[in-house]
Structure 1
Amino acid sequence: MSATENITNEAQGNPLSTKSQLLETGAAAGQDFGPVKQICAHLNAFHVYASDPKRCVEANHYCSHLNEDVRQCLIYDSPASNARLIGVEYMISATLYKTLDAEERKLWHSHVFEVKSGMLIMPGPNGLPTGIWEEAETKEMEDVVGIYGKTYHFWQVDRGDKLPLGGPELMMSFTKEDQCPGFSELIGERDSRYGASFLQKREKRAYIKEPEIHEDADRVWKGNAQ
């Protein structure tokens, strides 16, 4: 069977050979993988295509801190061990965002609505009481609410692509509920998989102060995204 006929994990290609599996096992035992060991948070939300804001895709972020003002995240289509890497996101503080020039700022999006609406979650580990984890998650949201993200996706899994085809797509975030048709259904289905409730999270995060969003951010909703 050819690679074009044999589909594994929704990606075009043949299953891993025994040789590849052995090489993976050996590399895992002998190499350090320092950068990925710094990943300290798994965040789940939805990204919008700047080129077509009617399209959105679920995004699992695996993030690490470069410093107090800069984070970098690998974006996967699922939390499974064989998930597809579909993009990257950089997150910076509002202080750094204000140092960017006007054209650059248009490429970045805010996280205020994601946090306050309950759309953005930090899936909890199995076995830990929900209440304890949500306390930690809510404290994390206090930091995320004020930062800006710049995201590119390379694999358009929402349209069924079996390989990462075409150029990178700039992605944005939702800033209002009415921008996302079927918001409750979309987030509710995600919540059902993670044992979460965006409504409960929305209530729990009500105390978090909404920072002022820079006028240059979230350009997809202002008519001149690039």
Structure 2
Amino acid sequence: MKHIIATLGALAGALSVPAVAQHSSPPSVGPAGAPKSAQTQVLEAGAKVLQSAAPMRGFDVYLVGFHPMKDAPELQMEAHHYCHQRNEDFAQCILFDGNTADANMNGIEYIISEKAFQLLPPDERKYWHPHNGEILSGQLVAPGIPEVAEKALMKTKMNSYGKTWHTWNTGHEGHTGEALPLGEAKLAWSFNRDGEAMPGLVQKRDRQLGIDTAAKRRDRADLRALAKPQSGVDALNGKFARPTTPIPGVTDSAAK
């Protein structure tokens, strides 16, 4: 994975154009509160010069996907991930509701390899959602990089899993977000069948970011050969208000 990230970094440097410069996705809600005072702005400027932000370095991989909440599947969010690959088996991501400077941080996701997932205690596995459906459907994307690099990145994430908590309902399709993070954090899941995403959710993202999800799905068809049955694929099967159909190559490891 590290060589993929190095390649992406080199591409970004050569192009000198970040993904957000071409296509922006602003948040739909802002936090309640008074505007920053002059004193706060001065303190921020001083902190920027004098303090280190070392833990934030390395969050260089930008992904966009979708999350239904496991206990409330019709609560679905577009999630902008900024990820740091710590080693070949583990990445950590900060989640936002957009990719602009005023985007709201609304969650976190940890990503682990199939090998790491197999080491988890059985009771822990219920918190980790499978990724093959997101990849093979074309819904998970890495905006702004060449398609060949994006596909190579997706190949490294085949059969991986994510543990995602959303801490703020900043809005989802057809619903206005809340002005502050309220209530308990919600465990998020993944889409594993066609039709699970609410109508318009994927299309809105595609329009804003200039993405063709259907084309990506066709281009990734050869990745099906790498797909193994995964835990949790059928966790939400039948819990949506719409008919759903299987995504080719996406199967549950517990299926008979």
> Do both proteins adopt the same fold according to a TM-score greater than 0.5, normalized to the shorter chain?
yes
Q: In structure 2, what is the equivalent of residue 188 of structure 1?
A: 203
Deviations 1:74-123 (A, max 9, x none): 00011111211101000001011011122111111111111111111111
Q: Which residue among 220, 244, 252 is the counterpart of 1:205?
A: 220
Deviations 1:18-72 (A, max 9, x none): 1111222222222231121111201001111111111101100000012110000
Q: Which residue among 180, 189, 192 is the counterpart of 1:175?
A: 192
Identity fraction in percent: 34
Secondary structure of the corresponding residue to residue 55 of structure 2: helix
Q: Which residue among 15, 31, 41 is the counterpart of 2:35?
A: 15
1:10 offset after TM fit, Å?
A: 1.9
The CA distance in 2 between the partners of 1:31 and 1:213, in whole Å, is: 46
Would the alpha carbon gap of residues 99 and 217 (structure 1) be closer, same or farther in structure 2, given more than 3 Å must change? Answer: farther
Q: In structure 1, what is the equivalent of residue 20 of structure 2?
A: none
Matched, 1:73 2:131: no
The CA distance in 2 between the partners of 1:197 and 1:216, in whole Å, is: 27
Give the superposed CA RMSD. 1.9
The CA distance in 2 between the partners of 1:216 and 1:60, in whole Å, is: 22
The CA distance in 2 between the partners of 1:213 and 1:25, in whole Å, is: 50
Deviations 1:149-198 (A, max 9, x none): 0000110112521111111100001001122232xx32121111111111
Which one-letter code corresponds to 1:19 in the other structure?
A: Q
Aligned pairs for 1:1-226 within 5 A: 10-124=30-144, 133-158=146-171, 159-182=176-199, 185-208=200-223, 209-216=225-232, 219-221=235-237
Secondary structure of the corresponding residue to residue 221 of structure 2: coil
The CA distance in 2 between the partners of 1:119 and 1:166, in whole Å, is: 29
Asked if the contact 2:168/2:181 (under 8 Å) is kept, the reply is yes
Asked if the contact 1:151/1:171 (under 8 Å) is kept, the reply is yes
Query: Runs of 4+ in structure 1 displaced over 4 angstroms?
Result: none
Which one-letter code corresponds to 2:158 in the other structure?
A: V
Asked if the contact 2:165/2:188 (under 8 Å) is kept, the reply is yes
The CA distance in 2 between the partners of 1:10 and 1:82, in whole Å, is: 8
Asked if the contact 2:58/2:84 (under 8 Å) is kept, the reply is yes
Which one-letter code corresponds to 2:209 in the other structure?
A: Y
TM-score, with structure 2 as normaliser? 0.76
User: Structure 1: where are the runs of 5+ without partners?
Assistant: 1-7, 126-132
User: Structure 2: where are the runs of 5+ without partners?
Assistant: 1-27, 240-256
Asked if the contact 1:48/1:171 (under 8 Å) is kept, the reply is yes
What number of residue pairs does the alignment pair up? 207
TM-score, with structure 1 as normaliser? 0.85
The CA distance in 2 between the partners of 1:83 and 1:218, in whole Å, is: 32
Which one-letter code corresponds to 1:71 in the other structure?
A: A
1:124 offset after TM fit, Å?
A: 0.6
Which one-letter code corresponds to 1:190 in the other structure?
A: R
Secondary structure of the corresponding residue to residue 29 of structure 1: helix
Which one-letter code corresponds to 2:227 in the other structure?
A: P
The CA distance in 1 between the partners of 2:234 and 2:94, in whole Å, is: 21
Which one-letter code corresponds to 1:194 in the other structure?
A: L
Which one-letter code corresponds to 1:214 in the other structure?
A: Q
Asked if the contact 2:29/2:179 (under 8 Å) is kept, the reply is no
